[in-house]
Structures are given as structure tokens and as C-alpha cells.
Structure 1
Amino acid sequence: MAAVGTQPAPTGLLGLGEFKLRLPATRLQWLALLAALGLGAVGAELAWHHPLSGPLALAAWGAVALAAAVFWVKTPLLVLAPLPLIGLAPWTGWITFEELDLLVTACGCGGYLAYALQLNARDRAPAWRHALVYSPVVLLLIAALALSAAWSMKRGFADAGGFEFGWFQGYHEAMNSVRNAKAIFLVLALLPLWTAAAAARPRGFARGLLLGLVLALLGGSAAALWERLAYTGLLDFSTDYRTTALFWEMHVGGAALDGFLVMTLPFALLALLRTRSPLNFGAGLVILLLAAYAVLTTFSRGVYLALPLALVPMVLLADAQRRRAVAAPADSSHIDGSTGAIDAPLPRAAKLGALAMAGAFALAAALVFGGGGYRGLAALFGVMVVLLTMPASLWKPGFGQRLTALLMGALLALLLAAASWVLSTTVPKAAYVLNVVALVACGLLRWRDEPGQLRPVYTLLVTTAWFWLLSTVVIVADYWGGTAGRWTALAAGLALAGLWAAMLLEPRLWPLQGAGSHGAAGWRKRALLVAGLMLVMAVVAALGGGAYLRDRVATWKEDGQTRLTHWRESLRLLHGGRQWLLGKGAGRFVASNFYDGPAADQIGDYRLRHDPTEFYLALAAGKHVLGGGEQLHVSQRIPAPAPGPVTLQLVSRTAAEANLVLQICEKNLIYPDRCSGIEQTLKPPQAEVAADGARPGAAGGWQTREFKLGPVPALGGDWWAPRFVTFSMALDTRGARVDIARIAMQDAQGRQLLVNGDFNREMARWFFSSDRHHLPWHTKNAALHVLFEQGLTGLALLTVAWLLALLRLSFGRGRDHPLAPAIVAALIGFGVVGAFDSLLDAPRIGFIFFTLLLLGLGLRALPGEGVARVA
């Protein structure tokens, strides 16, 4: 939908406060009104059927729709910001439909209504200000992508035995095709509105998109921080626990959090690099450090590989934007003055020095941590902070004076180091005290700096103090780690000493020398570098202090072979040229793998059934080797039970002997902890009668049992780091099936803990997970996922769109758009992580990907805009 220019005088006008509601005056506005009504009807219907509370969901939906009507230009912010926090499937039992659908329909309804009724009609722009424009070829490509997804959904219905609507269907049923294919249609539902918003207020739309993704990263990273704090501890890098945050899509494995991080983190970094507000800079730095922690705790080798491969091109593209902006003459007719001054690109020698500094610190950190532990690493961090705050006045003296200061400073520091060594060997804890004293001395000297003054003696004193501080790192490492700590820290110290000597003698290597490196701008750059040091320290600590990550890195070859085998077996599920060309259908991999794959991939399943009198749950076990993590768990999140025994009443039936496992655990998604459970052998009625001599019942008849579980300890975690409590049912007999008609549970105080235990509300409030057995649920490759569902046709279309977006934003008409470098990085990151996981079978991740992809196909820089700071 393109925005129109001057509107004709409307025939009807309604006043509403400061807003004026006008009747639709153009064909586009009438179409927008129809879109609003359609999305409103769908959204209201979904909200009314929400498993937790229809009225509350409808009220929340209406509030979002109202906000979208008022701030329709910022709908990307309203949609994207809450995305990582609104996955309520573990509470609701919904997997086909979810809160994402409610959010999109609410924003679409409110936004289109505002456009149709011409709210803020003044927000119109001439054609040259349209920042989102699609060529006919690109529109044809987008239509082909949508047609391929729709055809894939149709084939999925057919493969599932025909379409049958259901609110709570699982991965084997027809509605799973809707779940897997819906992401692109949700984006397309909002794309005309976003096209109008980008024409109305180009910079406001871009800022809304950027802020939405940054806030989404904040929400996802905060959830990851809570999860680690609650379930493992912040610095535990050895426990076999990979962060999932609130991405319920990882209940059967997958990389939803990985894909989310690599697609949102580039926007936070770009905003941090461009903001000039100290408050925004501090907030952005916190968000980026939180995200870095979340990245580390995914323990995902794909993420570790994707981020460097994505962020390096982003930095290069942003640098190229700055160079073009500096070289281009200002066009006063189009620049509104809000972009501000543009930083000059860093000279090549300074870039070389920055890379040398980063590499030297990374190597030194690895060496010092290996022998000196966390104490040695902390001392090294102090050395680097002092190095980054070196005053510019040190380079005022001539070369000969700097060389003399360097040599004499090294000699004086050597004498101080020798005295400090002797003192550390005779006085306990003296090593740490000496390190603090040296750090304070460096701080005092930095405080006594006189900018612009020629003071060779000051250069000598600063050099001496810094070399002495560096020597105390060796002393701390030796005191903590003995001989090993001494020699590794000495090697690191010599490398850093040589680096500082080179930079003092050759000013062009110093990355903070020159214009823009003094005052507020200089401290901003130093803060970025200090944050980089902290990230390096975190990586070194995670690799060096975490056995789990080391084990994952060590087994990459074996895991790679497993993936290759799985990919070959996945491709064998495609039969005939038609399936290779058009795919087997959206959402059909799990079922196809179950019926046509190897026996080890015949996983458990559940279905809601009903007979003439009641609903019941049919729970089936897989045919693979079963263990605690390999079982299919049907679960419900419950309030923390009172400490003591828990009573369970179960009405079930089975045709063959089966072991039923019932557990109450502290569990976020797939890592149970502090479990209290019971494993009960269920037998057919005839077998139980033969054992006790009672009269036999009907074959396969319902049986009522009561169990005592526990005593259950106090669960739920601390108030500042709460843990979810989950009740789960699973079968521990291969190939077994148990039908469950009713289940009830009371704690020691008589409270009922389960909701919908009779399944009269279908699977509302019930969820399922496979904690460890993940390969049968995913193709584990995004390209193969698209190939399986949409065939070579769909894969070719998506590949062309992905490459075209990268080319447009890197070299084409979109290359100077302020968000182009971040979108390129996000798409590259998605591609790298997608080489090791499906990603597109998680609707929220697919929604972010298609948002960036389709925007990347149409975004362009406004004439004369240069590098707009939308942060």
C-alpha cells in the first residue's frame, strides 16, 4: 500500500479529541478498512478462544489494537518488542495458534483502521520520501513466495489425510501445516501497512523497527538471565544446561533462541555505535552485554560461528556508509539537520592497531586465565582498562623523548617488579595489595594529566606505572597458580608490553589518537572498547572454566557426522519427482519421519480422542530406546504444591502392560530438576484379576487408581529467581499406549493442582516436550526444511529472495539506508545458524526472518539522508 499525497476533502468528518476521523476517500483506504475488519474478526475470534481467559485476552487484544491505531507508524515496535516474552504455550497448550497471531491481528486491525479513517492525515510525504518501495519484479517474487507457502500448506493438508480444524492439534495432524507456514502470511498481512508508514514518516518507521528489535533483544536476554539465575547460577558453565529463555518452540530441541539472537543482536550493536546520547549509550551497552551473556549460555557452536561472520560485514558496510556520507556533498533541499555530524572513518593504521590490541588481549586472557584463574584475569582487565584510558598528551614529546621514556620506564618498572616479587613471597596476600596499589597509582597519574602540554617526565611516569601494573599481573598469577601461572602470565605480559611500546613509538597505530578521540566522543569509544574487553573475558571464562562448552567444542566432528547422516535420511523421505519439485507439504516432516524413517525415529505421540461418553488422552510411547530425557512428556505447569505427599487419582485403560511415569519437577522447558515421581506399572484388567482372584472386567475397560507421590519438597525457587513447577506424564515402555480419561492431583493441603484433568476442554493447559531426543522433530537445516516442505521450487525462490536482499542492502539502492548493515548481518546470521538447524519451523523466528527479508527487498535510503542516526 503506497501512501497518497494530498487527499480530497472528505464528505464525512468526525472529531475525536485531537484526532480527526475522516471517512475513506480513496480505493486504498477502502481496502485498508476491509483489511482492518477482516483482521479484527480473526483476531477477536482467536482471543475469545484463548485457553487461559477469553475475556481477558479479548480486552488485551483491544488495547493493543487501540495503541496500533494511535501509533500506526510505529507498529513494528508494537509487534516486535514483546515477541520473545509472549510465548505462553506451556500454560495454554496452544501450538498452532499463539499470542503472536493475536498481536499481529491487533496491530493490523488498529493500524489499517487508522490509515483508512485518516488518523494523523498530516503524516503524508511526497514520492521521493517513500522509504519502502517494491519494483514489479520484487512484487512478483514476493507473490511467488506466498504462493509456494500456500501450496505447501495445501499439500500438507492432503498428506495429513485432509483438512480438519482443531484448536489443539499436534505435530502429526493437519493444523501443523498452518503452524509451519503461517509466518510469511503474518508478515504479508502487515506489509502494506508498513509500506504506508514508511511513506508517511520514513525516519519514524525506521526508528520503530530498530527500537522494536532492540527491545526484543532486551526481553529475550533478560529471560535468559533469569533462567540461568534460577536454574543453574550465573557463572555455571559446566552444567549440561543450554538456555532456552521463553522460547517454547525449543520443547523438542531446535535453535529458536539461537536464531533470535543472531537476528536481533546486530541492531543493538548498530544502535550502540550510532547513538550520541549518554543515556541511550549506557542502556545500549547494558543490553549488548546481556545479549552476549545469553549468546554464551546457548553453548551453540552455530551462534559462535554466525556472529563473527555476520558482524564483520555489518561493521564494514557501516564504515562504507560513513565514507560515502563524508564524501558526498550536502543537499540542503533534503537534509533536515537531524542527522548530526558523522564520524570520520578510522585510518587503516589505527584499525591495524585496534586489531592487534584485540588479538593481544584475547591471547593474554587465555594464557593468564589458564594459570592464574579469575584473579589473574581480573588483574589483566585492570591493565587493559588503564591502557585504553592513556591520555593523548603522552604523544606530545618527540620520538627520541618517547623512546627514552619507554626504556627508562621499563627499567624502573623492572626494579619495582623485583621488589614487589620479594614482598609477595614473604607477606600473604601481598600480591593482590600490590596490584591494587599499582592500579591506584595509574589512576592518580591519569587524573593529573594536563591535555596539550609537553611533559616528557609525565610520559616516563605513566609508562613506568603501567609496566609495574603489568608486572603485578604476573605476580598475582604466580601467587594463585604457582609455576604454571607465572610463565603463562609472563608470556602474556611480554606480548602486551611489546604492543604498548609499538603504539607509543608509532602514534598512527593508536586507535584512540586523533580527531573524535577526546572529550565525550573519546570516552564513548573507550567505553565500547572496555565492553569489548569484557566480552573477551566472558568468552575466555566460558571456554576455560566450563567443561560443558569444552566438551561440545571437542565433539564437533562426531556431531557433524550425526547431522550428515540425519540429513541423508531426511532426504530419503521425499519420494518421486513431484515431491522433490513441490515438497511433501508444510509441517509434514515429523509424521513422515515417524512412518517412513528408521525405527529409532518413531517417537512418542499423543492424540485427543472421544467416545460416546467422554474425551480421553491417548498417550503412546516411541519405539526408540527410552530414558528419562527420551520419553515424550505430556505436562502442565502447576502452582508449587505444599511440601508433603501429593495424591493422584487416575482413570486409565491399556491393552498391554505399560509403565507410566508421573513426576513433579522444577522445569522451565526441557531440563527437569528436583523431581518427585513414581513409576507405576499399568496392566489390562484381566492381568490384574488373575493376580488377585477378583472377578475380571471388560477387556480394555477403564480402571481407577490412586497413587501417593512424594513427599514433595518445597518447590518454586526464590522470589527473586522463581522456578516453574511442572507435572508430567510419560510412558517408559517402548511402543506402549495408555488412554487417560481423568487425572486429578491434590497437595498435602488438599488443593487441586491440575486444570482440565478430564480433557473436556480438549488439550487446553496441557503441553508436551521431548527433553533429549530431538533429531526426529527437525530436519536440522533450514534449506532442507524448505526443500522438504516446498520442494526445489520453494527453495529456489527463497534463496533468490535472500540473495537479492543481501545484494540490495550491500551494493544496491538500499545500501545507504540506516538499517541496511544490521539487516544484512541478521540475514547472514540466520543463514549460518540455519545451516545447522531448521529455524523456520518456529513461527516467531520465521516472523522475524520474513520481516527482515521482505523489508530488505524494498527499503531504500532517502535522497540526501546519508547515515541517519535512528538510534
Structure 2
Amino acid sequence: MAAVGMAPVAGLMGLGELQLRLPASKTQWFALMAGLALGLLGLVLAWHHPLSGPLALTAWGACALAAAVFWVKTPVLLLAPLPLIGLAPWSGWITFEEQDLLVTACGCGGYLAYALQLNARDRAPAWRHGLVYSTATVVLVGALALSLLWSVKRGFADAGGFHFGWFHGYHEAMNSVRNAKALFLVLALLPLWTAAAAARPRGFSRGLLLGLVLALAGGSASALWERLAYTGLLDFSTDYRTTALFWEMHVGGAALDGFLVMTLPFALLALLRTRSPWRFAIGLGIALLAAYAVLTTFSRGVYLALPLGLVPMVLLADAQRRRAAASGAESSHIDSTLGPVDEPLPRLAKLGALAMAGAFGLAAMLVFGGGGYRGLLALFFVMIILLTMPASLWRPSLGQRIMAVLMGGVLALLLGGASWALSMAVPKAAYVLNAVALMCCAALRWRDEPTQTRPVYVLLVTTCWFWLLATMVIVADYWGGTAGRWTSLAAGLALGGLWAAMLVEPRLWPLQGAGHRGKAGWRKRALLVTGLLLVLSVVAALGGGGYLRDRLASWKEDGQTRLTHWHESLRLLHGGRQWLFGKGTGRFVSSNLYEGPLSSRAGDYRLRTDEGEAYLALTAGQHMLGSGEQFRVSQRIAAPSPGPVTLTLVSRTASDAQIVLQICEKNLIYPADCIGTEQLLKPLRQEGSPTGSPPGWETRQVQLGNAPAMGGDWWAPRFVTFSMALDTQGARVDIARVAVQDAQGHALLVNGDFNREMARWFFSSDRHHLPWHIKNVALHVLFEQGLLGLALMGSIYVLALARLSFGRGRDHPLAPAIFAALIGFGTVGAFDSQLDAARIGFLFFTLLLLGLGLRALPGEGVARVA
């Protein structure tokens, strides 16, 4: 194959010698053309970025170069930053966004690298291709793409024709592009991924897994920051649902919910299978961080979606292991993507693990209800000691173990009685006694001799653990009084009985052999401790916060509201043609505004011109207005200097209108620590103007108040946002210019005259969300693409699930996690229309289309679960 005369490029980052060659096949020439086309599109988008064209071009070029060098692992580059790259609240872009720049950069670099054979390797034979699509699958996906294109055309027609705009909102024609682009972005990359999975199938799978786990880490970390900055980590009572950095939730929605349920299965699958201690520690941290993010969504759909997805994931992974065992592949104990794995637990050991989990969950609820966080912490240490019980305890005979349980119970009862009397006499003695019992248990564990049969040692360990259990009851009693005493006593009796049964019947112990297997022992125990922490988190969220309880208690009323909304939304489809082909992508919000009930007629904004000068036409909704229901146009600003803040407003109105002007600390839809003013605007009629002429422009300067120190702490910064809203139903105000100055004279707003269209401006509807979403994925597809599009989407979704569960893709190491992610998406999608969020749609279509093509390689050593 001829070289282009270019000298080999020095190895980059240890990759060895790189070399460029001319395309040698039609496929490579196609890749060259695709790379150039995506490159041209990406450069145009980057140059028009509202924040900084040169900076966007630089970042785009760096991503394209990285994609060229690591073209096999472009899923890492695409997916890892996904939850962090939505800059719409700063830029004002919603039709186009940073994800589009990243896709075009990775596509450009990847296709050019493939076409020019950068770091090329011999193409793998067909039997080693990791991504293969059947003819029927290609036909179905192609039909769905054509249906979506037709729906885009219908959306343009419904919007009054196609008109290009960089800053269109939800009512203009470009919203059809925004709603439809996710599938086409994935299809643009699919040939590149197919080539990568053919060249290095295992490397491609590892890249996909790593990208999704890193994405989960980034999204969960942003959720942690949001709670830390705006509510506090342990505040589960404030009416504040986490949105992280998903700007798509500015009008409600479930973008974060869909993201979590589609990425968390991959982190948990990796956690179950990794054998590296440091990787396990990192994975454990990510899983716990994600669990916190899940809890703080306060989303009943997420709480339902995760078990519905994760339980089948475990079952499918176990089925993979059994098929490997039947084929004789289990001897290697290796999963080529995720590393070696453990043998499955015996049936009785699984029963014991379930009993332990159930008993701990029940005990946690009982103890927390009466003993609070301190009782819960004492229970946690009880379980930690239980999980570290040494295997040598089962070496004595059955009679000796029974005697240890009986005598240990009696001795612990005596110790517990003395401890309770001391706690009543000496303040804080309950906590000291709990710590002493814990140290005694730890010391006995340290003195274990695995090869020795010591009945006395069994008695001492059992006595000490029963005593620790008694001190847990004493802590709960000291903190919570009578309620804490009896609830924790019931929990202690349940746990004590469980341990006695496991000591008598060793086959119930879920950690059989863990003490003799080195790494396997610590790993199993770490997984169980992780489960304990997750249960504690759930109990604390349910018991420590009234907001979550209220959310769970109101499911019936909210369900009826959903049903009514769905019924009213489907009434917006008129005639058989719209039912068959849909009304067009991106047209639900506009249809709801003009044809829906008054409660669905939310506020709006449009950019207009008058004698060549741009102005913003801001309107209020027709529904009942309140501080949370107002439609806001906002801009993120630097924190003003402490002191008086002055605002200059040039506006006009045809009728009286109350305008609300505020500066708040606000991430997306929950304002806090605001300063601001409300102004009554009246029509300004100039003398001598003819009747019916538009009102004149009025300039007014007002004080927003004295700004306190804003912006939060350096370790938990808060965003500062200026916003404008109308508090008069149906009112309209035209705004030609708005300027804000702080006490130091610094101008806080950019593009206050709207001459750069809506650059830097963003909008939100903080709590009035139903007008913006149909709140169901299937109905969303039906509304936009009709019954034809819904049938195609449903067929592809079912086909992917079937292929991953019992089809050709079932033995791919990532098949269980992809299956769980798709189930999670479908469950959350039963209550929200997630496909109107482009980043979530991109993630969904990525997993859906990969699930249709991924397959295990012969001899790959299919996945097993611990």
C-alpha cells in the first residue's frame, strides 16, 4: 500500500510509530469524505459559538486530533464529558450545542484516521468483528431515520416554513432540528464504530465501558456540587430536586434521571467484575456518588427504573456465566473486557445473603426511626463486624457452635444489662461503651488463627458481637428514649437470630471460603459493605426528609395529572394523517401554546426588529402565575460587588404589566438569596400620536437593592443569574435594552441590546412544566412521528432487548448492562419524554444501536458475576 511520502510521525504518548497512507478501498474513501464533511460542519459551528469562536475552534481542533490518535476509543472522548458540556445557560444556544461540536470533531478525526490508516492494523477477519448488523436491522434503522426526516419536514411546515436561526427557541422551525438530531449524530458515527469494533473489538468495548463510567462520575460529581452549594449534603426536606449541569431541565423534564439509569448499570457491572484493588476503590466511590445523585433526584421513576433494570442485569450476567460453564470456558475465569470473576454463590449462601440484606434493611428502618443517625451509625458498625467474621468460627463441631451461641447470648445479656445501667448513671457512657465493644470485636478478629479449631474463641467472638448489638440498642435508647429502645431492640433480636442461624448452618454464610481466598475475600466483603452504605442512604433519605415521603405519598394524584395531560396532549393531533405520520418533530410546545387549555399556555419570547433595531418581545402565560410559575429570560452574570445595584430598562407595553427584575443565586430552576424589584409598566402615549399607534419607548432606572456577597464559597461556588419575568397574565412587554451595574460601576450584562440576537440569554419555567413536555416517550414519538414512527421505534427497541437477552448479542460482556440501561430508559420514559433532550437522546440511541449489533467473540470468556 503506497505511502503518501510523509515521514513516519513520532509515537505519541507511547503509541509507537504512526504512519499515514492513502485510502485503499471504497470504504476508506467514503470515510475520507465523511471526515471532511463533518470537519467542515464542525468548523462552521465552532466559529459561530456565542461565547468565543476562536476558543471553540481551538478546543474543536484538540478534540479532532485526540480522536484521530485514539480513533478506536472515540466512545471515551464522546461519552465521558457528556454531562458537563452543556453551556446553554451561558451561551444561549439550544438548537446547537457543545455536544454537536464534540461529535463533529470526533467524527472528523476518527474518519480521517481510518481513511488515512493512522496507526493502522490489519483488519480482523469477519468472525472477530465485534459489531455486526443484520439486513433486517439495517432496514428497520433506515426506515426509522426516513420517518424522522419526514417528521422534520412536517415540523418545518407546521412552523410556517424553514427559516434558519442560531438562537431559535421551542416555537421556531429550528426546534425540529434540535429534537431530531440525536439519532443522526449517532448514525454519523456508527460506521466509524463498526470499523473500530472490527479492528480492535475488545479495545472498542473497553472504551465504551470507560466512557460511560467516566460520564457517570462527572454527572454524579456535578450533582454532589449542586447539593453542597445550594442545599447541604444531608438536607432531604427542602423542595429542591437535583438537576446537575443538565440545562435541558430548565423547563422541567427528566434529563438527569435518564442519564443516571442509563450509565449506572455499567459502573455496577464493572464494580462486580474488577479484581484490581485500586480500580475497585475508584468504582466503589463512583457507585456511591451515583447513589447519592439518584436519591437527590427525588424521582419515583428513577427509584422504580433501577431495580427493574438491575435485577435482569444480574440474571443475564449469571446466565452468561452458566453458558460459559457449560461450554468449558469457565476454567480461565477471565472476562476479556472486565477481567477475572468469581464463582457464583451456592443456593443456600444466596439465601443467606438475601436474609442478611433484608434483616439489615428492616433493622435500619427500625433503628433510624427511633435512634436517629447515631443509632444508624452504631448499626452500621455492628454489620461491619458481622461481615468480617473469620472462617475459623465454623471449624468447631455443631454442638460446640450451638453451645457458643447459647452461652454467648447469656454472657452478652449480662454485659448488656450492666452497660445499660451504666449508661443511665453516666452521661455519654452509651457511646463510650459502644466504642469499647467495637474495639473488643476488632481485637478478637485480629487474634484469629485460621488453621486452629478453638471453641473458646468462637464463644468469645459471639459474646462480644452480641454485646456490641446490645450497645447499639443502648445508643438508640439514650438518643431516642422509649421509641429508640423498643425499635432497636426488635432490630437487634432479628440480627442476633440471623447470626445464630448462620453460625449453626455454615451453608447460609454468604462469605464461604472468603477468608482463604485473599483478594476474593476483601472484594466480596467490600461489595457487601457497599450494599450496606446504599441501604443506609435510602433509609436516611426516606426517614430524614419529608420531601421524599411527600413525593412518594402523592403518586396517585400525580398519576391522575399525568393521565389528564396525556389525554389533552393527544387531542392536539387532528385527522388521520397526523395520527399516522405525526405533527412533526419539535411541534408539541407550540401546538400546546396555541391549541391547548389555558393552563398549558406558558410564557414566550421572540426577537423582533423595529427600524433595524432588535428588541425582545416577552409575554406572560395565561395560567395562574406565581413566583415559581413565571416564564423567565435570564443571563448568568459575575457576582456583583456588595452594595447597591442599578438597572436601566428601555421598554414599552400596550397595557399595564408588572415586570419582575431579579438577581439570584441559582443553578437552573431554584432561585435563592435574591435581590430585585417589581415595576408596574404602563403604556406611554406621546402627545399628538394617532389613535392605534404603538406606544412609545420608556426609559427608567431602578434600584435592585443592596447586593450581599454572592457566588458561594470557593469549594462550592454558586451561579449568579439575572432574570426578567412578567407577573401579569397574558401581558406583553417589549424590551429594547437592559443594563445592570453593580456598586463598583461594573456592567454585569452582555448583549443587553439584543443586537447579537439571543446570545448569552437563556429562558426557564421553574415549576410550570407540563406545557413543555408530553411526559411520555411513546406519546412523544407518536405526536412527532405518528403511529408509523412509533411502530418503528417500538420494533427496534424490542429487537434490541431480545437480542441482548437471548439473541446473538447476549454473550457480549456489556450486554447485561446495555439491557439494564434500555429497561431503565423505558421505565423513566413512561413518565417523561426524554427524547426532547438531545444529550439524553444521543446516549439512548448510542446504546440502542450498539445493542443491535454488538456480539461476543469466539473464545472471549463470557461474563460471570460474583
The amino acid of 1:477's aligned partner reads A
- What is the rounded CA distance, in whole Å, between the counterparts of 1:613 and 1:356 in structure 2? 74
Question: Residue in 1 aligned with 2:477?
Answer: 478
SS at match of 1:19: coil
The secondary structure found in structure 2 opposite 1:641 is coil
Shift of 1:319: 1.4
Q: Does the aligned pair in 1 maintain the 2:333–2:341 contact within 8 Å?
A: no
2:788 aligned with 1:787: no
Match of 2:102 in 1: 103
Which residue number corresponds to residue 717 of structure 2? 722
Residue of structure 1 equivalent to 2:745:
750
Secondary structure of 1:714's partner? Answer: coil
In the alignment, the residues of structure 2 paired with residue 668 and residue 332 of structure 1 have an alpha-carbon distance, to the nearest angstrom, of 53
How many residue pairs get aligned? The number is: 860
Q: Cα distance, 1:815 vs. partner?
A: 0.7
In structure 1, what is the equivalent of residue 13 of structure 2?
none
Are the aligned partners of 2:645 and 2:706 in contact in 1 as well (CA < 8 Å)? yes
State how far apart, in whole Å, the 2-side matches of 1:389 and 1:333 are. Answer: 29
Question: Who is 1:775 aligned against?
Answer: 770
Instruction: Note the C-alpha offset of 1:613.
Output: 2.5
Q: Secondary structure at the match of 1:840?
A: helix
> Separation in 2 of the partners of 1:517 and 1:138?
49
From 836, 840, 845, give the equivalent of 2:840.
845
**CA-CA distance at 1:327 after TM superposition:** 2.8
Question: Where does residue 829 of structure 1 map in the other structure?
Answer: 824
- Sequence identity, in percent? 80
Superposition TM-score, scaled by structure 2 size = 0.97
Q: Aligned partner of 1:802: which letter?
A: Y
* Equivalent in the alignment of 2:14: none
Aligned residue number for residue 301 of structure 2: 302
CA distance in 2: counterparts of 1:331 and 1:486, whole angstroms: 50
SS state at 1:564 partner: helix
Give 3-state SS (helix, strand or coil) of 1:741's partner. Answer: strand
Query: Which digits, 9 at most, give the CA deviation of each residue in 1:505-525, with x for residues without a partner?
Result: 111111101368632111111
| CA distance in 2: counterparts of 1:358 and 1:567, whole angstroms | 39
Partner of 2:9: 16
Q: Which amino acid aligns with 1:444?
A: A
Change in CA separation of 1:110 and 1:338 when aligned onto 2, cut-off 3 Å: closer
Q: Distance in 2 between matches of 1:270 and 1:71?
A: 25
In the alignment, does 2:402 pair up with 1:407?
Answer: no
CA shift, 1:612, in A, is 2.3
314-323 vs 616-625, greater mean Cα deviation: 314-323
Other structure's SS at 2:670 match: coil
Amino acid at match of 2:27: L
SS at match of 2:680: strand
CA offsets 1:768-791 (integer angstroms, 9 cap, x no match): 000010001001111111111111
1:187 lines up with 2:180 in the alignment: no
For 2:74, the aligned partner's letter is: T
Q: Is the 8 A contact 2:273 2:338 kept in 1?
A: no
List per-residue Cα deviations over 1:354-376 (Å, max 9, x = no partner). Answer: 11110100000000000000000
**Unaligned segments of structure 2, at least 5 residues:** 11-16
SS at 1:607's partner residue?
Answer: strand
Distance 1:115 1:662, change over 3 A: same
| Residues in 2 aligned to 1:695 and 1:843: alpha-carbon distance in whole angstroms | 49
Deviation per CA, 1:22-51, whole angstroms, max 9, x where unpaired?
Answer: 011100000000000100010000000000
| Residue ranges of structure 1 left out of the alignment (5+ in a row) | 1-7
1:47 counterpart = 2:40: no
| Paired position in structure 1 for 2:617 | 618
Q: How does 1:676-755 map to 2 (within 5 A)?
A: 676-686=675-685, 699-755=694-750
Flag the 1:697–1:640 CA change in 2: closer, same or farther, 3 A. farther
Alpha carbons of structure 1 residues 98 and 869: separation in structure 2 relative to 1, 3 Å: farther
SS in 2 for 1:652: strand
Counterparts of 1:107 and 1:563, CA distance in 2: 40
User: Is the CA contact 2:321–2:865 (under 8 Å) kept in the aligned structure 1?
Assistant: no
**Closer/same/farther in 2, CA of residues 698 and 751 from structure 1, 3 Å limit:** farther
Q: Matches of 1:264 and 1:863 in 2, distance apart?
A: 27
Amino acid at match of 2:665: E
* Residue pair 2:423, 2:429 contacting (<8 A) in 1 also: yes
- Over residues 652-705 of structure 1, what are the superposed CA-to-partner deviations in whole Å (9 max), with x where a residue is unaligned? 11111111110000000000000001000111113x989xxx999974121111
- Rounded Cα–Cα distance in structure 1 between residues aligned with 2:458 and 2:681: 82
Q: Judging changes above 3 Å, is the alpha-carbon distance between structure 1 residues 689 and 505 closer, same or farther for their aligned structure 2 residues?
A: farther
Show the counterpart of 1:427.
Answer: 426
Shift of residue 639, structure 1, vs aligned partner: 0.2
Distance 1:712 1:329 in 2: 71
Question: C-alpha separation between the residues in 1 aligned to 2:231 and 2:416?
Answer: 41
Judge conservation of contact 1:323–1:344 (CA < 8 Å) in 2. no
Name the residue aligned to 2:58. 59
Take 1:202 and 1:532, find their aligned partners in 2: how far apart are those partners? 33
The answer to whether the 8 Å contact 1:207/1:870 transfers is no
Counterpart in the other structure of 2:571: 572
Q: Is the 8 A contact 1:431 1:479 kept in 2?
A: yes
Determine if contact 1:685/1:697 at 8 Å carries over to the other structure.
Answer: no
Partner of 2:20, secondary structure, is strand
CA distance in 2, matches of 1:378, 1:15: 61
Q: Distance in 2 between matches of 1:636 and 1:129?
A: 52
Secondary structure at 1:801 match in 2: helix
319-328 or 419-428, which moves further after superposition? 319-328
- 1:297-337 CA-partner distances (Å, limit 9, x unpaired): 00001101110111111111111112222332249999998
SS at match of 2:197: helix
- Asked if the contact 1:331–1:864 (Cα under 8 Å) also holds between the matched residues in 2, the reply is no
For the Cα contact (< 8 Å) 1:321–1:866, is it kept in 2?
Answer: no
Cα distance in 2 between the residues matched to 1:341 and 1:836: 39
Check whether the contact 1:608–1:618 (CA below 8 A) recurs between aligned residues. Answer: yes
Q: Tell me, what secondary structure is at the counterpart of 2:836? A: coil
Cα displacement (A) at 1:868: 5.8
Deviation at 1:611, TM superposition (A): 2.1
SS in structure 1 at match of 2:675:
strand
Contact 1:517 1:525 in 2 (8 A): no
Structure 2 CA distance, aligned partners of 1:208 and 1:543? 37
Closer/same/farther in 2, CA of residues 20 and 302 from structure 1, 3 Å limit: same
Q: CA deviation at 1:226?
A: 0.3
Is the contact between residue 326 and residue 344 of structure 1 (CA under 8 Å) also seen in structure 2?
Answer: no
Q: Give the drift of 1:716.
A: 0.4
Question: Would you say 1:761 and 2:756 are equivalent positions?
Answer: yes
Question: 1:584-620 CA distances to partner (integer Å, 9 max, x unpaired)?
Answer: 1100000111111101111100011112230111101
SS of corresponding position for 2:605: strand
CA contact 1:684–1:699 (8 Å) conserved in 2: no
Q: Aligned letter for 2:639?
A: A
Gap change, CA 1:518 and 1:329, over 3 Å in 2: closer
Residues 23-102 of structure 1 mapped to structure 2, 5 A cutoff: 23-102=22-101
Q: Aligned match of 1:814 in 809, 816, 826?
A: 809
Give, as a single letter, the amino acid of the residue that structure 2 aligns with 1:638. Answer: I
1:717 partner letter: G
1:163 matched to which residue of 2? 162
Aligned partner letter, 1:737: R
Give matches, 1:266-415, under 5 Å. Answer: 266-330=265-329, 341-415=340-414
Secondary structure of residue in 1 paired with 2:756: coil
CA separation in 2, counterparts of 1:11 and 1:471? 79
- Partner of 1:649, secondary structure, is strand
What is the CA distance between 1:215 and its match in structure 2? Answer: 0.3
**What is the aligned partner in structure 1 of residue 172 from structure 2?**
173
Q: Is the 8 A contact 2:343 2:865 kept in 1?
A: no
SS in 2 for 1:674: strand
Structure 1 distance, partners of 2:86, 2:338, is 37
- Residues 517 and 629 of structure 1, relative CA distance in 2, 3 Å threshold: farther
Distance in 2, matches of 1:697 and 1:715, equals 46
**Pair 588,635 (structure 1): closer, same or farther in 2 beyond 3 Å:** same
Measured after TM superposition, the shift of residue 13 of structure 1 is 5.7
Moved more, 809-818 or 115-124: 115-124
Distance 1:344 1:331, change over 3 A: closer
Relative distance call for 1:712 and 1:338 in structure 2 (3 A) is closer
Q: Which residue of 2 aligns with 1:639?
A: 638
